[in-house]
Amino acid sequence: MTSQPPSPPPHPEQPAEVPTCYRHPDRETWVRCQRCERPICPDCMRDAAVGFQCPECVAEGNKGFRQAKSTFGGNVVRTPFVTYAILAINVLVFGAQYLTGTTVTGALAMWPAGVALGDEYYRLISAAFVHGGVFHILFNCWALFMIGPYLERAFGHVRYIALYLISALGGSVLGLWLDPLGQPTVGASGAIFGLFGAVFVVGRRLNMDVRGIAVIIALNLAITFLVANISWTGHIGGLVTGSLLAGALAYAPKSNRTLWQVLAIGGALALMAILVVVRVSTIVAIAA
């Protein structure tokens, strides 16, 4: 028999290369993205319909989905934290008023002479966070708590805070024009009246029954003119400003809605600034 030549010795097996996460090269992983098949570590895994995907593939996939919007174009609001923040600020400022007597009130109240002659323009907004008593703050906070979340969900956080602050500004600007120079005013009532007007406008826009809010507005206007020591300028200025701005936001064309709404907010601010500059110039000229 012919002897067979000895077979060569087997080569040692090469160890398989351990894959590492493409975003964290120092981390070993055996999981791959279901879309791009790149290795991903636990911190980079995103749940998918089947298996996991990497953050980049998830972000790319989300581009094809239309983001949910509120009724009038803002982001969907699940928690109305802007309303809650305003309520908290009101309570904190009122607490500071209680502890300091007239110091905080005098520093923040809307005072036409201070705005015109002292360049204290901040008073046009700060007055909306100061109140004249327990009943005053309770009413305003109750009204804000009742209607604020509804409007915040309808407009989204940014549009809602713009509506609130510009309504407050509208009340202060009318007070700057028509109130006596030495008469200070306080309260969020201008902003609250602006929200009342906004609820009415939104209701009409959505073909809802607005008789309830109409009665509330009418009753509060009656109180404004029948009860002493109430700033009618703040209430009327806030109501008109809030209603007009809410109308511009709610009736903006759906095509390029955001652009139209930004223009409406910017236009309202520009108009307020012009009215303040004209009135301040007039007061300064008379004082000189």
d(CA 38, CA 56): 11
Q: Is 136 a catalytic residue?
A: no
d(CA 193, CA 197): 6
Q: How far is CA 204 from CA 198, 213, 215, 220, 251, in A?
A: 10, 11, 15, 20, 10
Amino acid at residue number 200: F
Q: Of 126, 157, 235, 243, which one is the catalytic site residue?
A: 235
The answer to whether the CB of 168 falls within 8 A of the CB of 125 is yes
User: If we measure between CA atoms, which residue out of 158, 151, 171, 150 comes closest to residue 232?
Assistant: 171
Q: What is the DSSP letter of 44?
A: G
Backbone angles phi, psi at 195, to 5 degrees: -70, -35
d(CA 143, CA 258): 28
Place of tokens 């700057």: 176
d(CA 90, CA 235): 18
Q: Which secondary structure element, helix H or strand E, spans residue 52, and what is its range?
A: strand 52-53
Q: Is 70 a catalytic residue?
A: no
Q: Of 126, 172, 189, 243, which one is the catalytic site residue?
A: 189
User: If we measure between CA atoms, which residue out of 131, 122, 117 comes closest to residue 169?
Assistant: 122
Q: 3-class SS at 185?
A: strand
Q: What six digits make up the tokens of 271? A: 């108009």
Q: Which residues participate in catalysis according to the annotation?
A: 189, 235
